[in-house]
Chains A and B, each alone.
Chain A
Amino acid sequence: MNPLTRLRRRGFGLLHIYVGLLLVFLFLPLVVLIVFSFSSSGQLRFPITGLSLRWYREVFANSTVTDGIVASLTVAAVTGAVVTVIGTMAAMVVNRYPFRGASVVSGVILAPAALPGLVIGIALLNFFGDLHVTLSLLTVTVGHIIYTLPYFYLVLSARLRKFDPMLEEAATDLGAGPVQRFRKVTAPLIAPAIIASAFVVLALSWDEFQITFFTIGDQSTLPLVIWSRARLSIDPSVNAIGTLMVAGSLLVVIFTRRFITESYS
């Protein structure tokens, strides 16, 4: 083997090792979390001495966590529905029927993604305070809508740009009116993209913490439940709640993998 190919082959091997190590780095905390959630000990120490489901029993012993799950799902569902409707309308207009000022509209929609959650959170808290609005899951939902809109818009726009406008023109040429054209041609073609974008919104909302922290009222979402337990002391039940959260995200990602990976091919 000449030295050049040997070098190249070694470089190839090094990259593989590097990627493997990085994936370990990315998943190590999650593996540790899941392992500890099944530990029988109350101390988060290595090595683990025994296995049990006591932390899961503890999690469901009172309603705090289940209430949190219900609150998170409610907020995510309402956010998903609202963002899907207004986001689809906007993305369609900007990407399909370009008009003067379309890039300005794009910029405004994307602006919330360029700000840290902290600033959006305190701005909303200050706003609701000025209006004397009581903080509740409704105010949380407002924050989530603003936060997720840019991502919905980005994911959907990326897909809409691959859409062939000739198909719509063909429908028009064949005598379809605007409503029929949308129902029979446009909607079926863009539906997968809309579903994929909507699931991104659900995942982001389910996970959102930094804005929710300021807009939350008496009812806590799941991430806030975790925060209130993790902040005060070492509470091993957090591992069990965390594992449930990871499982929830895993389900969403796996369910939408076809839609998501398609945007990369």
Chain B
Amino acid sequence: MGIGQSVLTKPRRPARRRMRGAGARRGILLLLLPLGVALSLGFVLPLVLLFVKSFQTSLGYGQVSGHLTFSAYVTAVTSPLYRTVALNALEIGGIGTVLTLLLSFPLAYFIRFRLRRAQHTILLLIMISLFAGYIVKIYAWTTILGTYGLINTALAQIGLIDHPLSVLLFSKIAVLIVVTYLSIPVSTLILVGAMQNVDRGLIENARDLGAGGIRAVTSVLVPLSSTGIVASLAYGFVVISGDYITPQLVGGTTGQMIGVPISDQFLNIGDQPLGSALSFLMLAVFALVYFGLTRLERFKGV
């Protein structure tokens, strides 16, 4: 899909094709108008209204007062109720994202540099896995990790366990397994996209100069595909930490993340300002992580 590729390269702008004059400008505006309307009404305005709501206070029963205060943010930060789930989201997001990258990178390398004709077949398999259905895939894991699921049955057959392991399902581990599983296809596609621009010969040269296989990859390929690595990490962290469905289906009591209480505030007659404040705090953390990752990439002098 070229996701990685296109995130990273800015639109090309050859000077001679730049349109000039009032007529051209009117044409551009006209072509962008439908998109502008859709995004302002369907995205920007709802976000602004949600931001405003985070400064209001709940009067109960879904009603809010018009006064603007910081009370929702104070509750969000000070209440111990949300601290555990927020830390869980950071932990699962952090570990899951890094795990996803470590698992996807060799696959992306294999697809890009080791395959020629079979490349398209494997990309196709990854697409099928990607589009097999978010909710379907989470559900399928419950039958693998469950008390009488595939893993427990297999372990019992070999004689490694006497009783089914209950920690496999409804735990933090289960959430980590599922979110990593869900993120691998997108991460792989981003990395393959980023590696498209890397010349096969550069890695071979490094090998000829005496670098071992793994060293050739880490010293040549990693820096050259660093934009894809950062994109994979940033995208993965947002998707994993913001997941509120996986924890509900496989998380039990220990694997809950911040998204669950946020969604609760909006589903039942909850405290909507608190839910809004929590989600903007979450977005602030995402922005910090993204900023940190891009700084890290630049710092490495790539």
Identify A118's interface contact among B35, B47, B279, CB under 8 A: B279
Q: Are B31 and A161 in contact (CB under 8 A)?
A: no
Does B238 reach chain A (CB closer than 8 Å)?
yes
Q: Nearest residue in A to B43 (C-beta to C-beta)? A: A146
Does B96 reach chain A (CB closer than 8 Å)?
no
15 A-B pairs with C-beta separation under 8 A: A25-B181, A30-B129, A33-B136, A36-B143, A103-B11, A116-B282, A119-B242, A122-B50, A145-B38, A159-B2, A230-B139, A231-B249, A249-B131, A264-B123, A264-B196
B→A interface (CB under 8 Å): 1-3, 5-7, 9-14, 17-19, 24-25, 28, 31-32, 34-35, 38-39, 42-47, 49-50, 53, 103, 106-107, 109-110, 114, 119-120, 122-129, 131-137, 139-144, 146, 148-150, 153-154, 181, 184-185, 192-193, 196, 212-214, 234-235, 238-239, 241-245, 248-249, 259, 262-263, 266-267, 272, 275-276, 279, 282-283, 286, 290
* Residues of chain B lying within 8 A (CB to CB) of residue A200: 1
Does A86 reach chain B (CB closer than 8 Å)?
yes
Q: Which A-B residue pairs are the 4 nearest by beta carbons?
A: A116-B242, A158-B2, A29-B140, A98-B13
Q: Are A118 and B242 in contact (CB under 8 A)?
A: yes
Q: How far is the CA of A149 from the CA of B36 in the complex (A)?
A: 12
Q: Are B136 and A149 in contact (CB under 8 A)?
A: no
The stretch among A56-64, A183-191, A203-211 that forms the contact with chain B is: A203-211
With contacts A119-B283, A123-B46 known, is A18 near B106, CB below 8 A?
A: yes
Identify A114's interface contact among B12, B24, B135, B238, CB under 8 A: B238
Q: Are B184 and A26 in contact (CB under 8 A)?
A: yes
Q: Are B132 and A30 in contact (CB under 8 A)?
A: yes
Beyond A118-B259, A227-B245, 19 additional contacts (C-beta under 8 Å) are: A15-B110, A23-B125, A30-B129, A44-B148, A46-B149, A95-B12, A98-B14, A99-B18, A102-B11, A105-B32, A106-B11, A112-B43, A115-B283, A123-B43, A161-B6, A214-B263, A230-B139, A250-B132, A254-B124
Identify B134's interface contact among A23, A96, A209, A261, CB under 8 A: A209
With contacts A127-B45, A154-B7 known, is A117 near B50, CB below 8 A?
A: no
Identify B28's interface contact among A86, A99, A143, A158, CB under 8 A: A99
- How near does chain A come to B175, taking the closest CB pair, in angstroms? 15
With contacts A103-B11, A108-B39, A231-B248 known, is A154 near B2, CB below 8 A?
A: yes
Does A51 reach chain B (CB closer than 8 Å)?
no
- How near does chain B come to A226, taking the closest CB pair, in angstroms? 5
- How near does chain B come to A206, taking the closest CB pair, in angstroms? 8
- How near does chain B come to A124, taking the closest CB pair, in angstroms? 5
* Residues of chain B lying within 8 A (CB to CB) of residue A203: 131
Interface size class of A (residues with CB under 8 A): 35 or more
Q: Are B276 and A126 in contact (CB under 8 A)?
A: yes
Does A170 reach chain B (CB closer than 8 Å)?
no
Identify B127's interface contact among A19, A103, A209, A260, CB under 8 A: A260
Q: Are A261 and B124 in contact (CB under 8 A)?
A: yes
Q: How far is the CA of A46 from the CA of B146 in the complex (A)?
A: 11
Q: Are B25 and A99 in contact (CB under 8 A)?
A: yes
Q: Nearest residue in B to A43 (C-beta to C-beta)? A: B148
Q: Are B139 and A238 in contact (CB under 8 A)?
A: yes
Q: Are A19 and B243 in contact (CB under 8 A)?
A: no
Q: Are B244 and A264 in contact (CB under 8 A)?
A: no
Q: Are B46 and A93 in contact (CB under 8 A)?
A: no
Q: Nearest residue in B to A89 (C-beta to C-beta)? A: B31
Q: Are B134 and A207 in contact (CB under 8 A)?
A: yes
With contacts A98-B17, A146-B43 known, is A214 near B107, CB below 8 A?
A: no
Q: Are A22 and B192 in contact (CB under 8 A)?
A: no
- How near does chain A come to B131, taking the closest CB pair, in angstroms? 4
* Residues of chain A lying within 8 A (CB to CB) of residue B42: 124, 142-143, 145-146
Q: Nearest residue in A to B53 (C-beta to C-beta)? A: A126
- How near does chain B come to A147, taking the closest CB pair, in angstroms? 10
Does A165 reach chain B (CB closer than 8 Å)?
yes
Q: Are B132 and A223 in contact (CB under 8 A)?
A: no
- How near does chain A come to B49, taking the closest CB pair, in angstroms? 6
With contacts A86-B38, A226-B139 known, is A126 near B272, CB below 8 A?
A: yes
**Residue among B25, B123, B235 facing the most chain A CB atoms (10 A cut-off):** B123
Does A11 reach chain B (CB closer than 8 Å)?
yes
Q: How far is the CA of A47 from the CA of B144 in the complex (A)?
A: 12
Q: Are B245 and A210 in contact (CB under 8 A)?
A: yes
**0/1 interface trace, chain A 9-24, chain B, CB 8 Å (1 if under):** 0010001101100110
Q: Are B50 and A264 in contact (CB under 8 A)?
A: no
Q: Are B144 and A32 in contact (CB under 8 A)?
A: yes
Q: How far is the CA of A4 from the CA of B119 in the complex (A)?
A: 28
Q: Are B10 and A103 in contact (CB under 8 A)?
A: yes
Identify A120's interface contact among B6, B43, B123, B135, CB under 8 A: B43
